[in-house]
Structure 1
Amino acid sequence: MKLLGMDTTGNTLSAAVSEDGRLLAEIYLDTGKKHSSTLMLAVDGALRAADCTAGDMDAFAVACGPGSFTGIRIGTATCAAMAHGAGKPAVAVNTLDALIENAGKEKRTVCAVMDARRGEVYTMAKCGGESIVRECAVPLVTLLTELLPKGPVVFVGDAAERFQNEIMENRPDSLFLPQQFALQRASSVCAVAERLYRQGELLGYDELEPHYLRESQAERLRKR
């Protein structure tokens, strides 16, 4: 089974091709350029490096959120278009799940934290595949002092980098992944997507939707 995965939910961007759990190729960019101008270049590069075409894929996977609202829209729209063009299903992967996948077979609690602005983080924590903290948007201090269990926790995500000092102040036994695994990666999107594919969690191209977790600023202002 071949999958094309992509992640545009943060400042980084990546596209990857995997086959039966083996990573064939991955393009990872952290250049600051707009995702709208670099995503298809990354997708094309990953396909070429894997000696594949879009038509060879069994499914197309995307990190559908939470994360950057604009980035999420770019990724889901691109994934839907490619799935439609190839006549293949799409797989929606939660960004936080994919970040936790970066930790591999880590047996301790792994907590994904993304900067959600306004003093909050998007977060989720698991240990051995079991949910410890369900997906939510909360103040970082609440996560550190109330939601996470005692003992060492492995942190991953942009908020783990940005707020490392605050995390260490509250939890001195915290652990952090190396830089190359600290942020979103399409290879992890592929890994999660393969499990979802085998569980039958497939979508039509027109069923793929962004997962924002909370309302955008525009929506909040409109309600006011």
Structure 2
Amino acid sequence: MLVLAIDTATKIGSVALYDDKIGVIGELNIYVKINHSAVIMSMIDNLFKMTKLTINDVDRIAITVGPGSFTGIRIGVAVAKGLCYGTEKSIVGINELDLLANNIEGFQGEIVSLIDARKERVYYSIYEKNSELKRVSDYKDGEIRELLENLKGKTPIFCGDGAIAYESIIKEILGEDAKIVTRANSIPRAVIAGQLSITRTEDNLYTLEPFYVNKSQAEREREERLSKNC
């Protein structure tokens, strides 16, 4: 099975082609300064050109559905669905926090995936890795300091751009020996989504939606305005 994987949930735009027998066929990762809509289709086109493959060779499309950037997630899901319409390709949504946790190799123990939600807030989930990786918490959002207070006495490894953004806070609360994945290894890679999608049941193309965890700031402000007018 050949999978085209797309990840636009953070500032890193990532596309990859993954084959269940060969492994990684090709992968492109780029820091997006403005908007994923300006680069994602060019990245996919270039990936196909460099690998001498086309969308017709693809069996499945894997797309990260969030949490992360509200705009980025919407763009990625729309692109993935657009590529599936009329091509009869199956689609699988992958959670961004799962992707980050699965990117860690050579570590046994507790893993905390963190995505920066700004202003010292994060999207997060907690995992245990022994012979296999298992998620042991819900997907949540909250204050980084509150999360860290609940992790005192434990020795997890932190990954994701939230771990990089709040490294100083992590070490302030848990100590200088707190384990944080390096900046390079905290990059979300679409190829991991492709690999995970191989064993997942396909999603319904028409009902697959972004996974935000919480409401956008615009939605919260709108609800506040409506409540005041009631």
Q: Please, what TM-score do these two structures have when normalized by structure 1?
A: 0.91
What residue number does 1:139 align with?
143
What residue number does 1:150 align with?
153
- Measured in 2, the distance between the counterparts of 1:153 and 1:6 equals 28
Q: Which amino acid aligns with 2:166?
A: F
Q: Deviations over 1:58-108 (max 9, x none)?
A: 110111000000000000000001111421111000010001111135212
What residue number does 1:39 align with?
40
- Measured in 2, the distance between the counterparts of 1:174 and 1:133 equals 20
Q: Is the 8 A contact 2:123 2:140 kept in 1?
A: yes
What residue number does 1:177 align with?
181
More moved, 23-32 vs 74-83: 23-32
1:133, CA displacement in angstroms? 2.9
1:222, CA displacement in angstroms? 2.1
- Measured in 1, the distance between the counterparts of 2:93 and 2:186 equals 21
Q: Which amino acid aligns with 1:37?
A: A
More moved, 99-108 vs 56-65: 99-108
Change (3 A) 1:180 1:118: closer
More moved, 14-23 vs 90-99: 14-23
Pairing 1:66-145 to 2, within 5 Å after superposition: 66-128=67-129, 129-145=133-149
SS for the counterpart of 2:136 is strand
Q: Which has the larger radius of gyration?
A: 2
- Measured in 1, the distance between the counterparts of 2:108 and 2:49 equals 36
What residue number does 2:210 align with?
210
Identity %: 29
Q: Which amino acid aligns with 2:102?
A: E
What residue number does 1:193 align with?
197
What residue number does 2:228 align with?
none
Structure 2 unaligned segments of length 5 or more: list them.
225-230
Change (3 A) 1:178 1:118: closer
Q: Is the 8 A contact 2:6 2:76 kept in 1?
A: yes
1:178, CA displacement in angstroms? 2.6
1:118, CA displacement in angstroms? 4.3
Structure 1 unaligned segments of length 5 or more: list them.
none
- Measured in 2, the distance between the counterparts of 1:100 and 1:49 equals 29
Q: Please, what TM-score do these two structures have when normalized by structure 2?
A: 0.89
1:26, CA displacement in angstroms? 0.4
SS for the counterpart of 1:111 is strand
Runs of 4+ displaced beyond 4 Å? none
Q: Is the 8 A contact 1:62 1:92 kept in 2?
A: yes
Aligned pair count reads 219
